[in-house]
Structure 1
Amino acid sequence: MRIAITGSIATDHLMAFPGRFAEQLMPDQLAAVSLSFLVDDLEVRRGGVAANIALGLARLGLAPVLVGAVGPDFGEYGSWLRGEGVDTASVRVSSTRQTARFMCTTDLDRNQIASFYAGAMAEAREIELSPTAARLGGLDLVLVSPNDPTAMVRHTEECRALGRPFAADPGQQIARIDGADLLRLVDGAWVLFTNEYEAALLCKHTDRTHDELLESVGTWITTLGAEGIRIERAGEEPVTVPAVPVTDPVEPTGLGDSFRAGFLAGTSWGLDMTRSSQLGCAMAALTLRHVGPQGDKLDTDALLDSIRETYGEQAADELAAHLGGAR
Structure 2
Amino acid sequence: MRIAVSGSIAVDHLMVYPGRFREQLISEMVDHVSLSFLADRLDIREGGVAANISFGMGRLGLRPVLVGAAGADFAGYGDRLREAGVDVGSVRVSETLHTARFVCTTDADQNQIATFYAGAMAEAARIDLAEVHLRTGGLDMIVVGADDPGAMVRHTATAHALGVPVAADPSQQLARLDTRQTRDLVDGARLLFTNEYESALLRERTGWSEQEVLDRVGTWIVTRGAEGALIMTADGRRTGVPAVTTDAVVDPTGGGDAFRAGVLAALARGLPLVQAVQLGCAMATLVLECVGTQEYKVLPSELLARVGRTYGPDAAQTLRAGLGTGV
2:150 counterpart letter in structure 1: T
Q: Is the 8 A contact 1:72 1:93 kept in 2?
A: yes
Deviation of the 1:301 alpha carbon: 2.0
Question: Could you tell me how far apart the structure 2 residues matched to 1:185 and 1:320 are?
Answer: 34
Query: Quick one: distance in 1 between partners of 2:302 and 2:103?
Result: 30
Q: What is the TM-score when the length of structure 2 is the normalising length?
A: 0.98
- Give unmatched runs, 5+ long, in structure 2: none
Q: Secondary structure of the residue that 2:199 maps to in structure 1?
A: helix
Q: Which runs of no fewer than 5 residues in structure 1 stay unpaired?
A: none
How much does 1:325 deviate? 3.8
The code of the aligned residue for 1:140 comes to D
- State how 1:1-327 maps to structure 2 within 5 Å: 1-326=1-326
One-letter identity of the residue aligned with 1:94: S
Is the 8 Å Cα contact of residues 188 and 216 (structure 2) preserved in structure 1? yes
Amino acid of the structure 2 residue aligned with 1:300: P
Shift of 1:237: 2.1
Q: CA separation in 2, counterparts of 1:284 and 1:230? A: 15
Q: Secondary structure at the match of 1:189?
A: coil
1:74 and 1:99 in contact (8 A); partners too: yes
Distance, in Å, in 2 between the alignment partners of 1:33 and 1:296 is 36
Amino acid in the other structure paired with 1:98: H
Residues 12 and 103 of structure 1 are in contact (CA less than 8 Å); yes or no, is this contact kept in structure 2? yes
- Residue 270 of structure 2 contacts residue 322 of structure 2 at CA under 8 Å; is this kept in 1? no
Find the residue that maps to 1:124 and give its secondary structure: helix
Residue 15 of structure 1 deviates from its aligned partner by 0.4
Residue type matched to 2:313 in 1? E
**Using the alignment, how far apart are the partners of 2:208 and 2:64 within structure 1?**
33
What's the CA shift for 1:286?
1.1
**Deviation for aligned residue 1:281:** 0.3
* Partner Cα distance (2:245, 2:60) in 1: 21
Q: Secondary structure at the match of 2:175?
A: helix
Q: CA deviation at 1:197?
A: 0.7
**Structure 1 residues 163-197: Cα deviation after superposition (integer angstroms, max 9, x where no partner):** 11010001111111110111100101000000111
- The answer on whether the counterparts of 2:230 and 2:241 sit within 8 Å (CA) in structure 1 is yes
User: C-alpha separation between the residues in 2 aligned to 1:318 and 1:237?
Assistant: 22
CA contact (8 A) 1:308 1:316 kept: yes
CA distance in 1, matches of 2:313, 2:42: 40
The normalised TM-score by structure 1 is 0.98
Identity of aligned residues (%): 57
Task: Say which SS state the counterpart of residue 247 (structure 2) adopts.
Answer: coil
- CA contact 2:70–2:93 (8 Å) conserved in 1: yes
2:272 maps to amino acid: D
Q: How many residues align?
A: 327
Shift of 1:249: 0.8
